[in-house]
Structure 1
Amino acid sequence: MSKIEEALKKIRAQGNEGAQKGMIDTRRQLVKSADPSLESRPQHQIVRMSEPRSLSKTELINSRIIFPAMDDTEVVNAFREARTKILQATGGRNCSILVTSVSNTAGCSFVALNLAVAFTFDEARTALLMDCNIQHPAYHELMTGNPGPGLGDYLEDETIRVDQIIHPVGIPRLRIIPAGREPTPDREYFTSQRMLQLLKGVRERYPDRYVIMDSPPIMEAADTRILAEVSDYVLLVVPYGRSTEVQIAAAVKAIGKQKLLGIIFNDEPRLPKLLRLGRRQAGSAGS
């Protein structure tokens, strides 16, 4: 086992120990929302989440989105395994998970999107994918026609309601908040009460909703470190064989051991490459 693998093993063990406390502390900080569109919905309304259209098999493949019946079972099972480990770590409680990376080439958006999709395989759960990488949005191509307002619009304009920025994309039980327009650069939006209310509300809108937040690399954007503070957990995406021990250790330190849920080793952000996750495969994967 290499020094990197030994270090990551210790990091994961320490991180999981404090993860639950981190989620509880974060939830205590979130304030009650005055936006009626954020009110909790009964669980039985999950089945009523209508889809204007459903993505075809070809569209899913072209968009690099997993689905249960796809030929490459390895990649589907890798994301299912990631979902299972998250459910185990959280005790089955819904939460907000920030997905960040060591570098721009790690495939963070690919992982965030398909992790959210993996949660929707279970008909009793829903997922909301929030694009927090406002300067470099990743999911606008999934939106058909006029995508409408997104996260940046919501943070900039207080007249916009939360239900106006949540959009279907043709996948059952999955909703997306696109990046929207880039807010005014001289304001701290991610530390605002409005952002805290948003995170609290979108998670509690459905009791079984998992919020997956896509963000820039942790060491390259101050906004990502802010988002790590206000989210329940953080997943770190590492391009396997292309990151040093120093880079990974610096990213883990910036996240904090209490918030770090785990590390995902990703080969390349495209199908059908295998997503390498955690200790089970870290020892045998080649660089």
Structure 2
Amino acid sequence: MWNPFNRNTISNSSASKRSLQLITQKGMPFAYVEAYKALRTNLNFLSGSGDVHAFVVTSTVPEEAKSNVSVNLALALTESGKKVVLVDCDLRKPVLHRYLKAGHNLKGVSNVLSRQVALSDALVEPKGIPNLTFLPAGTTPPNPSELLSQPQMQEMVDTLRGSYDFVILDAPPISMVTDAAVIGRIVDGALFVVRSKYASTDAVKTALEKLQDAGVKVLGAVLTRYDAKKSLKRSDYGYGYYYYNSNYSYGTPPPIAFQSQQPKRAA
């Protein structure tokens, strides 16, 4: 239904620095911040109709900036007064604690699902970020997919729904493990992150098919690290957005942007 995309062109930055760019940091480019506000606006539109309050964020493969999108979207929503809980469901390689400087040995999702700790005791209030609550991944379990498939996962999400305006669940890439599809079935849908010219078109199509075959509603997509300098000739670093076919068929050209050509690789 909507497709905000990131035109990030800071290719000289290290991967670690690039992945930790937050809209709340001083000196962030105006267009970068505005893109998340546009994404927030579209999400608020969907939530206003009662359709979207809890959703999973995933991608095709690692290194597509899905966690960056999860955190910055959460921050954008909190700045508008929304109460948001950000849940790290990447139980194998959690990273959200790095963004929020929350420590790496915290109890979290895995401990709540295994009944080792109460949900209320696992929630963290990040310093200096009003309206945001964080639920870490917790101790790495031997069977993440199986644990996320348990009924208590649905119970946990339902409890969070009752206390927050938005529940954002950051999950592993769908081509690597099934976790995102498992989670997607119990929430309102999935936000799909695609890094420009990174995963092949076939890989992206297969990833989307996995979600759709599992009965997960794909709400929209975010295109990251898009080179605006080459394609749109705007700012060297920024974001923009366009509307996409509501059925989200990757092989169908969007009605506004990129109609004239279909790239050989995901763009």
- Normalised by the length of structure 1, the TM-score is 0.69
In structure 2, distance between residues paired with 1:236 and 1:205:
25
2:166 to 210, 214, 219: 210
Structure-2 change in CA distance of 1:276 and 1:253 (3 Å): farther
Q: Does 1:121 align with 2:76?
A: no
2:175 to 216, 219, 238: 219
Structure-2 change in CA distance of 1:62 and 1:267 (3 Å): closer
1:98-130: per-residue Cα shift (whole Å, max 9, x none)? 00001102111101110111100112x111110
CA contact (8 A) 2:181 2:216 kept: no
RMSD over aligned CA atoms reads 3.1
Could you tell me which amino acid in structure 1 is paired with residue 170 of structure 2? D
Indicate the residue corresponding to 2:31 in structure 1. 74
Indicate the residue corresponding to 2:117 in structure 1. 160
Stretches (4+) displaced over 3 A: 68-71, 143-148, 275-282
SS at the partner of 2:169? strand
Could you tell me which amino acid in structure 1 is paired with residue 258 of structure 2? G
CA contact (8 A) 2:107 2:138 kept: yes
Return the offset for 1:67: 2.5
Instruction: Give % identity.
Output: 23
Name whichever of 145-154 and 274-283 sits farther off.
Answer: 274-283
Q: Does 1:108 align with 2:66?
A: yes
For structure 1, list consecutive stretches of 5 or more residues without a partner in the other structure.
1-11, 16-60
- Residues 26-41 of structure 1: pairs in structure 2 closer than 5 A: none
Return the offset for 1:274: 2.8
- Normalised by the length of structure 2, the TM-score is 0.74
Indicate the residue corresponding to 2:131 in structure 1. 173
For structure 2, list consecutive stretches of 5 or more residues without a partner in the other structure.
4-17, 227-235, 245-255
In structure 2, distance between residues paired with 1:235 and 1:203:
18
Could you tell me which amino acid in structure 1 is paired with residue 238 of structure 2? L
In structure 1, distance between residues paired with 2:218 and 2:19:
31
Return the offset for 1:277: 3.8
Matched positions, count: 224
In structure 1, distance between residues paired with 2:36 and 2:73:
6
CA contact (8 A) 1:262 1:278 kept: no
More helix by share: 1
In structure 2, distance between residues paired with 1:144 and 1:244:
34
1:283 to 231, 235, 258: 258
Could you tell me which amino acid in structure 2 is paired with residue 215 of structure 1? A
Return the offset for 1:193: 1.5
1:177-200: per-residue Cα shift (whole Å, max 9, x none)? 111111232872112121110000
Structure-2 change in CA distance of 1:243 and 1:63 (3 Å): closer
